Amino acid sequence: MPKTPDIAIFGSGAWGTALAMAWGREGANVDLWGIPAEAIQDLAITRSHPRLPGAELPPSVRPVSKPAEALRAPIWVSALPTQVTPEVWAHLKTQTKHRPELLLHASKGILLNNHKRLSETLEPLLQMPVGVLSGPTFSDEVSRNLPAALVLALPATIEDDRAMQLQALLATPRLRIYLSRDVVGVELCGAFKNVLAIAAGLVESLGLGLNAKAALMTRGLAEMARLVEKLGGRSETVMGLAGMGDLMLTATGPQSRNRRFGALVGSGRSPKAAMATMGEQVVEGIATTDAALALAQTVDVELPITTVISRLLQGEDPHEAVSHLMKRSLKSE
């Protein structure tokens, strides 16, 4: 049996692989599991990911096709697409009786089927604490060892001393980790910014100008804050890396698939046609839009920008969607 890994990452997409590279460069033994098995086998042979050109897996990263090997690790990190994460973990938990002290997930979104955050669903499913790792990071830059910062949000069941140990364990000279206890806020910010990034792409492709984009991002943060605070998160989280930082990156960066999707729809393509151009990349903001609206209704929070994006996804003309937003009754800031 191979050596027990220090960290196991479940999800061998670009982000899971980039995290494996970041920790593997510092000497951590990382098992990287994903599906399909053929993709893992290719990763083991080529030592490179097709969406991370110019970056190679460090020697201490081991792609594995059998989840039982990775499940022996003392730290589990889930980097799966949000909407399939509970289903995959329902299967993975049957592969081992071992349960580490916590699971960290690095996915961004709200579940469409029950409008819950991932930690809300995974904690009872796995019977263990669940934290979240989130922030303004593009996987290709992390894979190339460019500087970045993330928020590590841990539940109260993890004691302060251990929380700081985990922070130090996951931090690297090029990946700075900030500790938070606001799991709710960090998860909601990570999900909601994808919706706003679609809106930013729409504004950009319609040629509405930088004034409109600045207004969109600012009022988008206000929407984010209303929802986060109503659901028990903290306002300072919204104004930090997980909120404003991630929004700035995703709404402006050329690598942002959510911004790119919004721009394609704004240029006249149907949502279905725009999605067809994205290949295997998941645009999490699509599912998150209606899930966020449903969640907001439960706490009586108005989300006008999110409502416009929902209409856009249902086929409304982009110009009409923006017109609805601009014609809303005037309000105080």
SS3 240: coil
Spatial distance between the Cα atoms of 262 and 155, rounded to a whole number of angstroms: 34
Four-residue CA torsion sign, 209, 188, 191, 173:
positive
Q: Which helix (H) or strand (E) holds 143?
A: helix 139-143
Which residue type occupies 170? L
| Candidates 193, 213, 272, 327; catalytic one | 193
| Rg value, the chain, Cα | 20
Q: Are 125 and 179 in contact (CB under 8 A)?
A: no
Cα distances from 254 to residues 42, 94, 140, 245, 273, in angstroms, run: 28, 40, 12, 16, 20
SS3 78: strand
Look up 272 and say whether it is catalytic. Answer: no
Contacts of 164 (CB under 8 A, 6+ apart): 179
- The encoded tokens of residue 290 equal 């209606």
SS3 131: strand
CA 229 and chain centroid, separation = 20
Active site residues: 193
